[in-house]
Structure 1
C-alpha cells in the first residue's frame, strides 16, 4: 500500500513511520505541509492508495487538503484518515463533510491505527473494482459475447454519484459518530426482478443500469446527509441523518418519476421495464449508532444469502447475443456451444 503522510510535526512523523514500518507498511512518503503534499501528488507516477492527514497545519489545513484531494479524479475514493490533537467534536463533522474516510485523535493508539489501516486496505480493493467499473461503462460492448455474463453479487461504487460510498465506508461513518441517539432514516431500495434482468443482460448493461439507478436514488432522496451503498443483487442500503423524516410512499412516487426522466440512460433490456421498491429497515426514527450498525449488518447478511445458484439458461444467453447483434446492425452468427 502506497501511503502519503502529511503532518508538520517532525517528531510525530518519525514515530509514526517507525510504527508503520514495524507492521510492514514501508512504502510511505511524507510531507510537512498541504502544499508539499499536493506537489507530491502531482509528481507521483501512480496515485497514493491511502492518505494520513493532520488537521491542524499552517496555511491550508488538513480538512482543506482533504477537500482538494477529493476534487481530483484519482483521489475521489482513496481512503483518507484525518488525525488531530484537538477536540474531535470541533473537527469531525467538517472532516467527514470534506470527504474523510476516518478520523483519529492524537496520541494515536498504534493497534487501533493498524486496524484502521487494514480497513483502508479493504477500501483500496473496493476502489480498484470501482475503477474497473468506470472503464467498463466508458467502453460499452462493441460485439456480442457469451463470456460477458453478469455476476449479481458484484458490488459497485460510482464516485461521481453524490453520497455513494462502499459498504465499509458506510459502516465506518456511523461507527465513528459519537455515542448516543440520532435521528436517522435507514431503508433499502431494491431493483425489482433483478435476477431476470441480469439473466437476459450482460455485465456492461447491468452496470449501466445500476449507475442510472444510483443517480435516480440520489436525486429522489435529495438530502444533504445522504449515504448510499450498493450491496449486490439489485439492493441499495440508504442512510439519511436528520430530523426530517423520509416519507417512503412519497419517495416511491419520486423514484418512478425520475426513472422515467432518465429512461434514455437505461440500456435496452429486451423491452423489460425497470422499477424500484423502497422499504424501511426500521420503523424507529431515533437509533443508537450500534442499533444502526446492527441493522446494516443484518441487511448485508440478507443480501449474501441471495446468491443465485441458478446458471443462466442457454436461451437467455442466446437471446441476449442476438439482440445485441441486431442493435449493432451486424448479421447474427450462430451460437456454438460445446
Structure 2
C-alpha cells in the first residue's frame, strides 16, 4: 500500500516513519506542506492508496487538502486519515464533511496507527479485487458507481452535504467525538416507506437524488440541533442528536413527506407524487462505549423497521379506524394503575420518614428544655 503522509512538523514525520517502517510499510512518501502533497499526487506514476493528513498546517490546511483530494475522481474513495491533537477536535466536524474517512489523535499511538492502516489496506485490496475481476480500472469504476444500478442494500454515497456522513465515517465520528458528548446524545432512525418499489421503478440516478432529498429533509428540520446523519442502505437513515433535541424529533410527528420529481424514464406514470419518510422513537446512548453506540444504532433501526413493516402498517390502519384493541387498552390501564400505586407508596414512605424525623426532633427538644430548667422544676 502506497501512503502519503503530510505534516509540517518534522518530528511527527520522523515518528511516523519509525512506526510505519516497523510495520513493514515501505512505500511511504513524506512531505511538509499541502501544496507539495498536491504536486506529488499529480506527478506520481503509481497512485497513492492512503493519505495521512495533519489538520493544522500553515497555508493550505489539511481540511482543504482533503477536499482537494476528494475532488480527484481516482481518489474519491481513497482512505484519508486526519492527524490532530486533542485540543483541535472542533475541526473534526469540518474534516468529515470534507470527506475524511477517520482520524488519529496526537500524541500518536503506534498500535492504533497500524490497526487503522490495516483496515484501510484491506478496504483498498477489496476494491482492487472488484476492479480486476470486472476488468476495469479505478476511474471507470467511479463512473459506473455513479451511473449504474445500486443494490437496495448498498450504503450509497449520496455525495457532499453538510452534516451528512458516509456510514463507516459516521460511527467513527460519533464514537470519537468525546465521552461526554456521546453520553449526552441519542440515536434515531428514519426509513422511506415502500422503498423496494421506488428502487425498482426509479432510474438509478433519480433514486440517488431522491435519497439526497430525503436526507436534506431530515437535516433541514434538525440542523439547528446539531444533527449528523448517515445513509445505511435499504432506504434507512441513522442519525445522532443531543438528547435535548428529542422534543424536536417528537414534534415532527413520526412522518415526513418527500416530494418525488417527475421521472424522465419509462415509469413516469407509476411514480407517486410523494413518498413518506417514517421516523422511529430515538434510542439514548446510556454508556460512552462503542458497544453501547452499536446497540443504540441497532435498536433505532429495529424500531423504524417495525413501524414500516407491512403488518405494522395494517395494524396502524385498523387502530386509526376503530381505536385501540381492547387488550392494548386494558394493558395501558393496568400500567397506569401500577404507576399510580407506586406513586402512592412512595408518597407514604416520604410521609412516614418526615413524621419520624419530626418526632425525633420533638423528643430532642423536650430533653434539651428539661436539662436547661433549674433543679426545682425537674
Instruction: Give the structure-2-normalised TM-score.
Output: 0.61
Correspondence for 1:25: 25
Superposition misfits of 4+ residues, deviation over 6 angstroms:
125-134, 300-304
Correspondence for 1:189: 190
**Structure of greater relative contact order (alpha carbons < 8 Å, 6+ residues apart):** 1
More helix by share: 2
SS in 1 for 2:155: coil
* TM-aligned CA deviation for residue 239 of structure 1: 1.5
* Contact 2:156/2:231 (8 A) holds in 1: yes
Aligned mates of 1:209, 1:2 — CA distance in 2: 37
CA deviations over 1:196-233 (Å, ceiling 9, x no partner): 33344564553343233233333333347332221121
* Contact 1:4/1:28 (8 A) holds in 2: yes
Correspondence for 2:207: 206
* Contact 1:184/1:287 (8 A) holds in 2: no
RMSD: 4.1
- Structure 2: state its 5+ residue gaps: 131-137, 306-378
Correspondence for 1:111: 111
- Structure 1: state its 5+ residue gaps: 141-147, 305-338
Aligned mates of 2:241, 2:191 — CA distance in 1: 17
Aligned mates of 1:103, 1:119 — CA distance in 2: 13
* TM-aligned CA deviation for residue 46 of structure 1: 7.2
Correspondence for 1:248: 249
SS in 2 for 1:30: strand
CA deviations over 1:8-53 (Å, ceiling 9, x no partner): 3445424423432443433322112233223323445676443212
* Contact 1:220/1:255 (8 A) holds in 2: no
Cα gap change, 1:115 to 1:303, in 2 (>3 Å): farther
Correspondence for 2:91: 94
Cα gap change, 1:95 to 1:203, in 2 (>3 Å): closer
Cα gap change, 1:139 to 1:77, in 2 (>3 Å): closer
Aligned mates of 2:271, 2:3 — CA distance in 1: 48
Correspondence for 2:63: 66
Cα gap change, 1:98 to 1:287, in 2 (>3 Å): same
* Contact 2:229/2:238 (8 A) holds in 1: yes
* TM-aligned CA deviation for residue 241 of structure 1: 4.2
Larger radius of gyration: 2
Aligned mates of 2:65, 2:211 — CA distance in 1: 28
- Name the count of aligned residue pairs: 286
Aligned mates of 1:184, 1:198 — CA distance in 2: 32
Instruction: Give the structure-1-normalised TM-score.
Output: 0.67
* Contact 1:189/1:235 (8 A) holds in 2: yes
